Amino acid sequence: MNLDIISQLVQILKDAPELGAIEVRRGLFGTWSSVRVSKAGVVTNAGGGGGGGGGGGGHHVVVAQAPGSPTPAAGPTTGGGAPAAASHLVEIKSPMVGTFYSAPEPGAEPYVKAGSRVAGGQVVCIIEAMKIMNEIESEVAGVVREVLVENAQPVEFGQPLFRVDPHA
């Protein structure tokens, strides 16, 4: 990736205050494997796209974050009955439109359940998009307090999937 492309991505972030970050993944031999744009204040997680099978990690990741964009944290909870204590939970949100799968294959144990401890970078689910299984990783360490999506349910970009207590 050359510096002109990187500077263009940074300029896009400066010109569009609603954007929080742009992530570009490049596979082996310079092929583009994915580009992801996230809204400001939205916690997103990158899935490793198809991966080139075996071998060392042959992908490069470039993440540009908008100046002054908030660091990933839980947004305000909606719904009048939510207790104030829930405001410290961090939401893991869907980085794409697709189908949510809680386990690596049918009949297998889910990656995480309510009460599971997760580490940063740990796979928490799969989202299938255009016949590609994208592993979604947690960007926060803590305890999963809520699983907000049923297995095999369609999800939208930015839809909360899990709520994690980083202080537990």
Same domain, 120 and 64: no
Average pLDDT, stretch 70-78? 40
Q: What is the mean pLDDT of the chain?
A: 73
Confidence (pLDDT) at 148: 95
d(CA 135, CA 119): 15
Kindly state whether residue 76 falls inside one of the protein's structural domains: no
**pLDDT-wise least confident of 1-5, 28-32, 132-136, 158-162:** 28-32
Same domain, 94 and 63: no
Confidence (pLDDT) at 14: 74
88-141 pLDDT, tens digit per residue, is: 899 999 999 999 999 999 999 999 999 999 999 999 999 999 889 999 999 999
Same domain, 106 and 146: yes
Same domain, 96 and 168: yes
Q: Which residues pair with 125 in a beta bridge?
A: 136
User: Is the whole-model pTM more than 0.75?
Assistant: no
- What single-letter amino acid sits at 148? L
Total domains in the chain come to 2
Alpha helices in the chain (DSSP H): 3-15
Phi, psi of 110 (to 5 degrees): -65, 150
d(CA 148, CA 111): 14
Same domain, 163 and 109: yes
Q: Which domain holds residue 28?
A: 1-71
